[in-house]
Structure formats: C-alpha cells, structure tokens
C-alpha cells in the first residue's frame, strides 16, 4: 500500500502546484490545502504502514502490542495538521483582506508592495 499512497501523494502534489500557479488567489488556497494534506500523508507513509493496532498500551501490559503502528510520525502529523490549519486560516484571512482593499483576487494585479517597473 505504500506504493499506492506514494503515487497518491504525487497526484496531490501535482494538483496542488497546478492550482497554486493559478492567478486566482482562491485557487491558490485550494492548492495550499491539498499540498498540506500531501505533506501529512508523506510523513505518515514514510513511517511505514501497519494495518490495525494503534499505538496504545492496553491496561495490564507495559508496552504496545507487537506490530502496533509507528507512533512517531503520528505525533508529527497530528501537530502538522493543526499548524497547517492555522496557516490556511491565516492565508484565507489575508486573501479576504486583500480582496477588500484591492478589489481583485488576481495575483498579477496585486502590485502594492512591488510595483511594476514600467509603472
């Protein structure tokens, strides 16, 4: 299944970059969500997949059951999801604010900080 998930990550990344290259900021945000999902899946997959047992220690035993899932990537991914959400929310806020000020979501029209040379 690692093979399938790896290809799936590739598909997500490709779609994300295609969307991020769009001029519409809204599509860029879609791309941002996809690529953060892709990154999480990539971390998760590279920790290897084990069907079934979560990394929990049943009462009475001192260690997780043999063959339990790898706990480390799970911990990393868990925080990454929340941070990715924070990033997305901030980007969305910026987009909203930018639209309110500039009246457009076309990135090639957003030239306040870096005006065109010929302007």
Q: Give residues 59-78 in contact with other proteins (rule: CB under 8 A).
A: 59, 62-64, 68-72, 74-75, 77-78
Min dist CB 53 to other proteins, Å, is 5
Q: Does 118 bind other proteins (CB under 8 A)?
A: no
Q: Does 117 bind other proteins (CB under 8 A)?
A: yes
Other C-beta atoms closer than 10 Å to the C-beta of 23 total 13
- Segment 6 to 45, residues that bind other proteins, using CB under 8 A: 6-24, 26-28, 30, 33-34, 37-38, 40-42, 44-45
Rounded CA separation 45/39 (Å): 10
Min dist CB 8 to other proteins, Å, is 6
Q: Are 104 and 110 in contact (CB under 8 A)?
A: yes
Rounded CA separation 104/24 (Å): 9
């Amino acid at each position: 299944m690692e093979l399938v998930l790896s290809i799936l990550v590739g598909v997500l990344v490709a779609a994300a970059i295609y969307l991020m290259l769009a001029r519409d900021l809204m599509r860029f945000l879609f791309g941002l969500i996809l690529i953060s999902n892709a990154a999480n899946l990539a971390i998760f997959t590279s920790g290897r997949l084990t069907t079934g047992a979560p990394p929990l220690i049943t009462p009475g035993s001192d260690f997780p059951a043999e063959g339990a899932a790898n706990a480390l990537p799970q911990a990393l991914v868990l925080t990454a999801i929340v941070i990715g959400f924070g990033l997305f929310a901030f980007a969305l806020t910026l987009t909203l604010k930018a639209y309110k000020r500039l009246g457009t979501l076309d990135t090639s029209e957003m030239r306040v900080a870096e005006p065109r040379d010929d302007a």
